[in-house]
Structure 1
Amino acid sequence: MKILETKALKKYYGKESNLVKALNGIDLSIEERQFVAIVGSSGSGKTTLLHMMGGLDKPTDGQVFIDGKDIYKMKDENLAIFRRRKVGFVFQSYNLIPVLNVWENITLPLEFDLKAIDKEFVEELMKTLGIYDKKNALPNQLSGGQQQRVAIARALVTRPSIVLADEPTGNLDSKTSLEVINLLKQSVRKYHQTLVMITHDDKLAQMADKIIRIEDGKLMSKGEDLC
């Protein structure tokens, strides 16, 4: 069953005399519970595509559907609520709040929506990601890999249907990168979520169920199935 779909998606920047076509007609669909890697060189449009799919930036033209809903037909405030409930984000920069400990950073999204904190679920997440013993630590007391695990837990704590990860290991060494992506993959499998990961690293991309390649704002392939 399709959970995420784009149709004729376009994103242009600049004026006609100097128009940059970051995305130029992207049609793709992603199945529920699938792990998809979107691969491309720097400037290929892959991060722009992720932002469009997650409702972070409006397209110039085209449509994005999540669970069959055309998200850019929603009012901005409704889209913001829908996005918080349906989509979790993991970025290259961990974006942790320095004065909050691990537990507080993870549960912060629940505070925004005034949701009750399921302590058992948060503890389970932390154990799954190997950071339970760090729950009272501040971000500056953690390694880069541990900080990214906290960021992953924060993305999963709202139980989103989709997790979008933009170069989630860009600040990590190769060994830690493999560990983090393995943990991310195990976590979304455990909680029956769809994972879309942007990467330039073919080795990491091989861990996905499917690879989609993009260059110059166009799809070079709609998916190489790896399983």
Structure 2
Amino acid sequence: MSILQTINLKKYYGTEPNITRAVDDVNFSVEEGEFVAVVGTSGSGKSTLLHMIGGLDKPTSGTVIVRGDDLANKNDEELTIFRRRNIGFVFQNYNLVPILNVYENIVLPVELDGNKVDENFLIEIVGMLGLEDKLKSMPNNLSGGQQQRVAIARALISKPAIILADEPTGNLDSKTSADVLGLLKNSSTKFNQTIVMITHNNDIAQLADRIVRIEDGKIVE
């Protein structure tokens, strides 16, 4: 069962003759529990694709379907709620809230939605990510690798349909990168979590179940 599908997805900027086809007629699908890497050079359209899948950016034309829901049918408010419930984001620069401690950062998406935190699941995630003794720490007292693990925990806590990871190891050294990617892969396996990860690094992409290449806004085989 496809948890994510894009149909003839396009994102164009500008007008003829100076039109930029950032994403140009992309069709692809992701199965539940799959860990997919989208690989492309800078400017290939991979981040634009990720932003449309995550409902952060609207396509020029085409369709994004997540868990059977067509994102095009939602207004901004509905998209915000949909994102919070269905999409977990892990960005290159962590995007933690500096005035909240680690525990508060992790549970933020659940609390924003007015739900009760599944404490047993939280303990399991925190244990897997090695953050047990950091829950009261502030983000600025953590290393980059620790901050990214907090971001992964925050993405997992609401049990989203999909985790979208945009160059998640872009700011980390190679050993920390390997650790973080191992944790992402483990969470995919352990929680049957679907992950779509963007990277320009072929070595990193090898860890995924499947690699999709994008060039000039098109998927290439």
The TM-score with structure 1 as length reference comes to 0.95
1:225 alignment counterpart: none
Deviation digits for residues 114-165 of structure 1, max 9, x if unmatched?
1112222212211111111111111111110000000000011111121110
Rounded Cα–Cα distance in structure 2 between residues aligned with 1:62 and 1:166: 22
Deviation digits for residues 88-136 of structure 1, max 9, x if unmatched?
1100011111121110110111121111122222122111111111111
SS in 1 for 2:51: helix
Instruction: Report matched runs for 1:29-178 at 5 Å.
Output: 29-178=29-178
Deviation digits for residues 165-184 of structure 1, max 9, x if unmatched?
00000000111111101001
State the 1:19 CA deviation. 1.1
Rounded Cα–Cα distance in structure 2 between residues aligned with 1:114 and 1:68: 24
Question: Which portions of structure 1, spanning 4 or more consecutive aligned residues, are displaced by more than 3 angstroms?
Answer: none
The amino acid of 2:141's aligned partner reads Q
State the 1:84 CA deviation. 1.2
Aligned residue pairs: how many?
A: 221
Establish whether residue 28 from structure 1 lines up as the match of residue 28 from structure 2: yes
Q: In the alignment, is the contact (CA less than 8 A) between 1:72 and 1:79 conserved in 2? A: no
Rounded Cα–Cα distance in structure 2 between residues aligned with 1:213 and 1:114: 38
Rounded Cα–Cα distance in structure 1 between residues aligned with 2:117 and 2:6: 33
81-90 or 145-154: bigger deviation = 81-90
The percent of aligned pairs where both chains have the same amino acid is 60
Rounded Cα–Cα distance in structure 2 between residues aligned with 1:98 and 1:78: 27
Rounded Cα–Cα distance in structure 2 between residues aligned with 1:207 and 1:192: 16
The amino acid of 1:120's aligned partner reads N
Rounded Cα–Cα distance in structure 2 between residues aligned with 1:117 and 1:70: 28
1:16 alignment counterpart: 16
The amino acid of 1:206's aligned partner reads Q
Q: In the alignment, is the contact (CA less than 8 A) between 1:3 and 1:32 conserved in 2? A: yes
Q: In the alignment, is the contact (CA less than 8 A) between 2:34 and 2:188 conserved in 1? A: no
Establish whether residue 211 from structure 1 lines up as the match of residue 211 from structure 2: yes
SS in 1 for 2:17: helix
Rounded Cα–Cα distance in structure 2 between residues aligned with 1:6 and 1:118: 32
The TM-score with structure 2 as length reference comes to 0.97
Unpaired segments ≥5 residues, structure 2: none
State the 1:188 CA deviation. 2.3
